[in-house]
Structure 1
Amino acid sequence: MTGYASAQHSASAEGGQAPEGNSRLGLEIRAVNSRFLDLSFRLPDELRAHEPALRTLLTARLKRGKVEVRAAIDVDASHTLSTPSSAQLQRLVGLQDTVQAWLPKARELSVADVLRLCSGSSGPATDWSAIVPALAEQAVEELLASREREGKRLTDMLLDRISQLRELAKQAAPLVPQLVEQQRQKFLERWKDAMALGEGAVAPEAAQERALAEATAFAIRIDVAEEITRLASHLDELERLLKKGGDIGKRLDFLIQELHREANTLGSKSATLELTRISVDMKVLIEQMREQVQNIE
């Protein structure tokens, strides 16, 4: 299932947590559906050492999905700039003169260059080792909550489609007996017409038996009682799994395939436009379910 979560932590120089000034660590987790668990990380160099721990955490909490973890460290430059000392400036001027003596075409240092070089040794970087695990745990919890909300929405949609499929099956059930009876009457009428035209050339009992046999064969050919029964059974199992929850994605996918098979058979046996319409409506609903089931774990 898709999901998104983010978590931030700010450290300030006043609290002694970030010697280089105010800084903020942001962590994002994005997830989209996938058959397997596929993890990718985009971390700054300062956090690269935490990737194994993050991978272990996500593997333990997630089963499927293409998951991307992004982290960024933002530093407030207004707190990191310090006034260069006279010794630093003299040192930079001396180095610049030495370089230009050997490389006359070398450009002079800009103000930005001077500030960057003078602030480069302002102190040790922030130690995020105690912050990253807690921040990652917070983001994972938010991601799971996000996916749970989407799962609830998908479950409601699937239950609604199940209800519509039950209604279509209910409409289809009485159509076949009515059609069989209509066809039986047609066969008997044809038998009577044949008797009138034949003028005794064919025995009445044999002709009637042949007409009833054709009616019986027609009834067997268009009988969809088994398909409707299996359809109802699959819908019951789908509903049970959706209400149970858990790791049900693959089982739902299998049941959707079985529903599609029954709807196809129902359409192939159709002998009326009404039954054909019901089959088409069923396949539309089942296809909508199939697309959403792909997003459920």
Structure 2
Amino acid sequence: MIKSMTGYGLGTKGNQKVKYTVEIKSLNSKFLELNLRLPKAFSDKELTLRSECSRLIERGKVNITVNVEYVDQSAAAATINAELLKNYYRQLEAIAVELGTAKGNLFELALNMPEVVSHYEEEADEEEAALLMGAFQEAVGQLDLFRKDEGEVLRQDLSSRSAEILRLLGEVETVETDRIPLIRERIRQYMDETVGKENVDMNRFEQELVFYIDKLDITEEKVRLRSHCNYFLQALEAADANGKKLGFISQEMGREINTLGSKANHAGIQQVVVRMKEELEKVKEQLLNVL
């Protein structure tokens, strides 16, 4: 089963005190590019979450945001160290009197002094850590479902395009029936016109003709291309997500199609090859988003 690298997941877990919401957004990338935003209280969980992302998400440009919402808003409120604030204010007031300056903004200055205002940064307990991991697992689960749904759409499109390449290969086999006789006749006419029929050593001519036509033979390319297309279709139905494998197979398909076109020496076949290349380019574009 193939999966898309594009996805979205949202997970929420909470208790009477706090609620954690984990949001995951994923786009395509060759590797796992993880941007993780955690509350400071969970900084010790970052390595664990990164390890889980590597195992569960595998690849993609992934943004994970964790939001904390307190049921009791006073629990998240900042606290003011009143004694320290008074001490700062008295010192500033004394300096202002000594220097003879205005006292208008002394309170604001004292309030902004170090350690006067402290925000809630208490370390989370095990219960809260379990809530966070539960929300994360739920978000990953939704992300995976999203990726599977998108992957099914990609699978259908990739399957139809590889089947179309196989159908076009059948057209090549139909068109090429008169290819070798036409090449043989064209060369014979050229020899007759340039050196004269009576001056041609027919034994030597047939030997050279066989050697030349053998170079133009596309039987191996057709067999390999059909094999690669069938293998591609087989890999699409595999149980694991294998975007890289499909990418390698598509490269081999491209090589055989290119060789087919260069060796064809036939306008009809080359036109079919152009259509094959168009389908293959669309396949490669879609594979950029396959996990």
TM-score interval, smaller chain: 0.7 to 0.9
- Partner residue of 2:176? 176
Deviation at 1:215?
Answer: 4.3
Of 268, 272, 275, which aligns to 2:269? Answer: 275
1:1-297 alignment, distance < 5 Å: 1-9=5-13, 15=16, 17-18=17-18, 24-75=19-70, 79-80=73-74, 98-104=90-96, 105=102, 107=105, 109=107, 127=125, 128-187=128-187, 202=199, 207-297=201-291
Query: Match of 1:34, SS?
Result: coil
Residues 233-270 of structure 1 show CA distances to partners (whole Å, capped at 9, x for unaligned) of: 00010100101131423321221111111111111113
**Matches of 1:141 and 1:93 in 2, distance apart?**
49
* CA drift at 1:207: 4.2
Question: 2: CA distance between counterparts of 1:129 and 1:100?
Answer: 43
Give the structure 2 partner of residue 85 of structure 1.
none
Gaps of 5+ in 1: 19-23, 82-87
**Distance of 2:277 and 2:286 partners within structure 1:** 14
When residues 193 and 243 of structure 1 are mapped into structure 2, their CA distance, relative to the original with a 3 A threshold, is same
Residue type of the alignment partner of 1:149 = D
Corresponding residue of 1:84:
none
CA distance in 2, matches of 1:175, 1:281: 14
1:56-96, CA deviations, whole angstroms, 9 ceiling, x for partnerless residues? 3223323333333221224589x549xxxxxx9x9799557
Structure 2: runs of 5+ lacking an equivalent: 97-101
**After superposition, what is the alpha-carbon deviation per residue over 1:183-228, rounded to whole angstroms, capped at 9, x for unaligned?**
3334555677789x66xx54xxx64445544543443232212111
TM-score when scaled to structure 2? Answer: 0.76
TM-score w.r.t. structure 1 length?
0.74
Note the alpha carbon deviations across 1:158-205, whole angstroms, 9 max, x for none: 10110110121111113333121123334555677789x66xx54xxx
Q: How many residues align?
A: 271
Same amino acid, percent of matched pairs: 25
By how many angstroms is 1:271 displaced? 1.4
Cα distance between partner residues in 1 of 2:61 and 2:87 = 51
- Rounded Cα–Cα distance in structure 1 between residues aligned with 2:188 and 2:65: 76
* Alpha-carbon distance in 1 for matches of 2:28, 2:11: 22
Q: Which has the higher contact order (CA 8 A, sep 6+)?
A: 2
Contact 1:180 1:215 in 2 (8 A): no
Q: 1:30·1:67 contact (CA, 8 Å) conserved in 2?
A: yes
Q: Which has the larger radius of gyration?
A: 1
**Counterparts of 1:123 and 1:57, CA distance in 2:** 25
Distance 1:256 1:49 in 2: 43
Aligned 8 A contact 2:40 2:121 in 1: no
> Separation in 1 of the partners of 2:193 and 2:33?
72
